[in-house]
Amino acid sequence: MTRLHVNGEEREVVVRTGDTLARTLRDTLGLIGTKIGCENGDCGACTVLVEGIPIKSCIVLTLDIADRLITTIEGLTDTPLQRAFVEEYGFQCGFCTAGQILNATELLGRSPKPTDDEIREQMESNLCRCTGYEGIERAVKRAAGIELPLQKGSHT
Amino acid sequence: MILEDVRYYQPETIREAVDAYREAAAEGLSVHYMGGGTEITTHARDGKLAPGALIDIKRIPEANGISRGSGVIRFGAAVTLTRIADSGDVPLLSATARRIADRTTRNSITLGGNIAGMLPYREAVLAFLIYGGTFEVTGPEGTRTAAARELFDRRVRLEDGEFIVALSIPESASTAPWYYTRRERDGRVDYPLVTFAAGLVRDAVAFAVAGAFLAPIAFSVPAAGVTRDVVVNELKALGLKYRTDMRGSAEYRRALTERACRDALDALGKGAQ
Ligand SMILES: Cc1cc2nc3c(=O)[nH]c(=O)nc-3n(C[C@H](O)[C@H](O)[C@H](O)COP(=O)(O)OP(=O)(O)OC[C@H]3O[C@@H](n4cnc5c(N)ncnc54)[C@H](O)[C@@H]3O)c2cc1C
Ligand code: FES
Ligand code: FES
């Protein structure tokens, strides 16, 4: 048995040496908020935090991070960033959203008022097939308390 | 499960790592040292790799950290590219690391893994080739230090059971003039068509290129009287074949590379000669 520290809880699980963290989270622990898209490190849908740092859980072995603190989307509850994603329509189908939010959570922890360049560098790790990214960027800025330009079609 | 029956070692010392290698190799397993594991996992999933044993080097103190001493800056092979990008110790190295993959992936990719990887890019090696860096490698026969330009000849030339513990660059590289450009087909997060780096190193201009050819390459020309034609002729004399793939043709890569030769000289103040 391997002990994993996930979302503030200790979980004893059977992990095979070849299991990736994404598979363990979803298939063994039932934490299906973590999505698997490309399973190749390209899309960011599987992003989780390990000791607060975002990583792509489809390209890391579970045993590699067994003694570290893991946070999945289930470990975040009604944070300002999550609310901002709702308020700014930062998602449509929602498939990429867990990864986007976890990645942006680390950015805001490290840089509470990120520059446009910092937001771009951070968020280019995550692909979204639906939104065109504008709502995602606005959500990150809203959560950071950065003034948002009016959107096209807005009324004053 | 993407890897069948793989044995996984997490040594905490160099000695334990080498012992693990000996043990697994003696049993006939195909043994791989592991940094971030991002290439090992993706290649295993694709069926390109079927390791019997993995030796994760991230817990070995000598393979971690960035330090200065004896006139060099030393980078542990297990240091992540995010850490190197953010460190700024060697501006050319940090600039190069910052454009490899994307930030989240760089949180996992290690310096040693990038340089020892199987893909043709291996961009992090460029600064070590330019500044006359050295590799510290260790294995069953002991530890040795080798010049980057000797050990990295198209790929890292390691003996059986050896792994990269660290890489060093002379401290002068932190202030030396440098040039860097990277061209992609589809915007920033993509493999490069061409990554081109150059630096003034004593009385020479050193160049290193990734993406254009099957592997990163480096060459130097005397700084005195250097012109774009001199650099392009030196490059041609290497007799390398430009790559063609879905991102770009060999001809396009050649044009980008030769253009970068001129831009590099301009940026280094050698363009007018
Ligand atoms: C999404 C994505 C985007 C990428 N984009 C780029 C890019 O733009 N440019 C680029 O250059 N690369 C890019 N890569 C490739 C990446 O840099 C390589 O695949 C690299 O090998 C991954 O490093 P790692 O530490 O995870 O290696 P691992 O998967 O741990 O190992 C890779 C190989 O290196 C060997 N190895 C690892 N560490 C050592 C060591 N210390 N000594 C000896 N051998 C060692 C392993 O045995 C294995 O054969 C990208 C990869 C991904 C997943
Ligand atoms: S599923 Fe992990 S990066 Fe796409
Ligand atoms: S909301 Fe559908 S992929 Fe991003």
Asked if residues B232 and B262 have their Cβ atoms less than 8 Å apart, the reply is no
Q: Following DSSP, what letter does each residue of A122-155 receive, concatenated?
A: HHTTS--SSS-SHHHHHHHHHHTTPPPPPPTT--
pLDDT of residue B272: 47
Q: Are B59 and B110 in contact (CB under 8 A)?
A: no
pLDDT of res. B270: 75
What pLDDT is stored for residue B273 in this prediction? Answer: 42
Contacts 24+ apart (CB under 8 A), A28-33: A29/A4, A31/A6, A31/A7, A31/A72, A31/A74, A33/A72, A33/A73, A33/A74, A33/A98
Reported as a single tens digit per residue, the pLDDT across B162-184 is: 999 999 999 999 999 999 999 99
Query: Residue B227, class by beta-carbon neighbours within 10 Å (0-12 exposed, 13-18 middle, 19+ buried)?
Result: middle
pLDDT per residue as tens digits for the range B243-258: 999 999 999 999 999 9
| Residue A37 CA, ligand 3 centroid: distance in Å | 11
B46-55 mean pLDDT: 94
Query: For chain A, how far is it from start to end, CA to CA, in angstroms?
Result: 59
Mean pLDDT of B218-234: 94
Ligand 3 pocket check: which of A35, A85, A96 to mutate, most ligand atoms within 8 Å of Cβ? Answer: A96
A17 with B6: Cβ contact below 8 A: yes
SS3 category, B49:
coil
A89: left (phi over 0), alpha (psi -120 to 50) or beta: left
Assess whether pLDDT exceeds 60 at residue A156: no
Task: Judge contact between B32 and B53, C-beta under 8 A.
Answer: yes
Distance, in Å, from the CA atom of B17 to the CA atom of A56, rounded to the nearest integer, reads: 26
Distance in angstroms (rounded) separating the CA atoms of residues A136 and A141: 9
- Which pLDDT band, with edges at 50, 70 and 90, does B5 fall under? confident
Crossing angle between the packed helical segments A134-143 and A116-123, to the nearest 10 degrees: 120
Eight-class DSSP state of B77: T
What residues pair up with B34 in beta bridges, in sequence order? B56
> The whole model's pTM is what?
0.96
Confidence bin at A3 (pLDDT 50/70/90):
very high
Chain A residue with Cα closest to B190: A42
Q: What is the residue-averaged pLDDT of chain A?
A: 95
List beta partners, residue B245: B248
Is the pLDDT confidence value at A155 over 80? no
Least confident of A102-116, A140-154, B15-29, B169-183: A140-154
CB contact under 8 Å between B1 and A103, yes or no, is no
| pLDDT tens-digit map of B13-42 | 999 999 999 999 999 999 999 999 999 999
Q: If contacts are CB pairs under 8 Å, which of residues 17-56 in chain A contact chain B? A: 17-20, 23, 39-41, 44, 47, 53-56
Nearest-atom number in ligand 2 for the CA of A46 is 2
> What number is the average pLDDT over the span A89-94?
95
Residue/partner pairs of B225-231 with CB below 8 Å, 24 or more apart: B225/B273, B226/B265, B226/B270, B226/B273, B227/B265, B227/B273, B228/B258, B228/B261, B228/B262, B228/B265, B228/B271, B231/B205, B231/B207, B231/B261, B231/B264, B231/B265
A61 forms bridges with which residues in the sheet? Answer: A20
Q: How high is the pLDDT of residue B170?
A: 97
Ligand 3 close to Cβ of residue A94 (< 6 A) = yes
Q: Ligand 2: which of A24, A42, A73, A95 to mutate, most ligand atoms within 8 Å of CB?
A: A42
Q: Is the pLDDT score of A45 beyond 60?
A: yes
Q: Which of A59, A103, A121 has the CB atom closest to B37's CB atom?
A: A59
What pLDDT is stored for residue A152 in this prediction? 62
Q: What SS3 class is residue B93?
A: helix
Question: Does residue B120 line the site of ligand 1, with CB under 6 A?
Answer: no
ipTM of the complex: 0.95
Task: Please give the Cα distance from B133 to B90 (Å, whole number).
Answer: 12
List, chain by chain if needed, residues with CB within 6 Å of any ligand 2 atom.
Answer: A 36-39, 41-46, 56, 58
Domains in chain A: ranges and CATH: 2-75 (3.10.20.30), 80-144 (1.10.150.120)
Cα within 13 Å of Cα(B270), Cβ side: 27
B152-153 vs B53-56, strand pairing mode: unpaired
* Two structure tokens written together for A77: 């509850």
- Amino acid letter, B243: R
Rounded Cα distance, B178 and B206, in Å: 9
Residue with the bigger pLDDT between B79 and A150: it is B79
Q: Is B12 on the interface with A (CB under 8 A)?
A: no
- What's the rounded Cα separation, in Å, for the pair B124 and A59? 20
Q: Per the CB < 8 Å rule, is B3 touching A122?
A: no
Of A53, A61, A121, the CB nearest to B41: A61
| Tens digits of residue pLDDT in B109-126 | 999 999 999 999 999 999
Spell A60-85 as b/e; 16+ CB within 10 A means b.
Answer: bbbbbbbeeebbbbbbbeeeebbebb
pLDDT confidence of residue A153: 59
Minimal CA separation from A122 to chain B, in Å: 6
Per-residue pLDDT at A33 exceeds 50: yes
Judged by a CB distance cut-off of 8 A, whether residue B192 touches chain A is no
Partner-chain residue, chosen from A23, A40, A53, that has the shortest CB–CB distance to B42:
A40
Which atom of ligand 2 is found nearest the CA of A59? 2
Which segments within B44-173 are labelled E, that is strand?
53-56, 66-69, 72-76, 134-139, 142-147, 152-153, 155-156, 163-170
Find out whether B81 and B111 touch, Cβ atoms under 8 Å: yes
Q: Could you tell me if B101 lies within 8 Å of chain A, comparing CB atoms?
A: yes
Q: Mean pLDDT, to the nearest integer, of B187-205?
A: 92
Asked if residue A132 has its Cβ within 6 Å of ligand 3, the reply is no
**Ligand 2: residue whose CA is nearest its atom 3:** A41
Amino acid at position A10, single letter: E
Interchain contact B69–A (C-beta under 8 A) = no
pLDDT at B68 over 90: yes
Q: Is the CB of A109 under 6 A from ligand 3?
A: no
CA of B36 to the centre of ligand 1 (A): 7
Write down the pLDDT at residue B6: 92
Average pLDDT over residues B147-152: 97
Angle at A29 between CA A27 and CA A30, to 5 degrees: 65
Question: Where does B116-255 show beta strands of DSSP type E?
Answer: 134-139, 142-147, 152-153, 155-156, 163-170, 178-183, 194-201, 204-210, 217-222
Q: B2, A18: Cβ pair inside 8 Å?
A: yes
From ligand 1's centre to the CA of B39, what distance in Å?
5
